[in-house]
Amino acid sequence: MEKYAWKAYIKEGSFEEYKRRHDEIWPEMKELLTRAGIRNYTIWCNGTELFGYYECEEGIEYATRVQRESPIVDKWNEYMKDILIMKPDPVTGAQPSLVKVFELN
């Protein structure tokens, strides 16, 4: 199972709204992430900095493609743009992947 980590930022003063939107995540978004083979997805916050991590059951390329081709992701990104600062990779459309430098199993 491949692992994927990303980083983004929420706009100052938007933490509560960001959390609320994820507490009420759309069922169709959850279904899409599941269909993309995404498992163990967590998002962490430190101030305005977000760190996301998930595992890709079918591989990162597959998970990225399923998300990139989905209008649900476009709708979600539009919904979040007032509180989220994202700098997507121009090729994949996803948050740029962080480089793993250490892992303890």
More confident residue, 17 or 104: 17
36-53: pLDDT as tens digits: 999 999 999 999 999 999
User: For position 66, what pLDDT does the model report?
Assistant: 95
What domains can you pick out in the chain, each with its CATH number?
2-85 (3.30.70.1090)
Which active-site residues does the annotation give? 22
Confidence bin at 63 (pLDDT 50/70/90)? very high
Q: Is 45 exposed, middle or buried (0-12, 13-18, 19+ CB in 10 A)?
A: middle
Q: What is the pTM of this model?
A: 0.86
C-alpha closest to that of 15 among 46, 59, 56, 51: 46
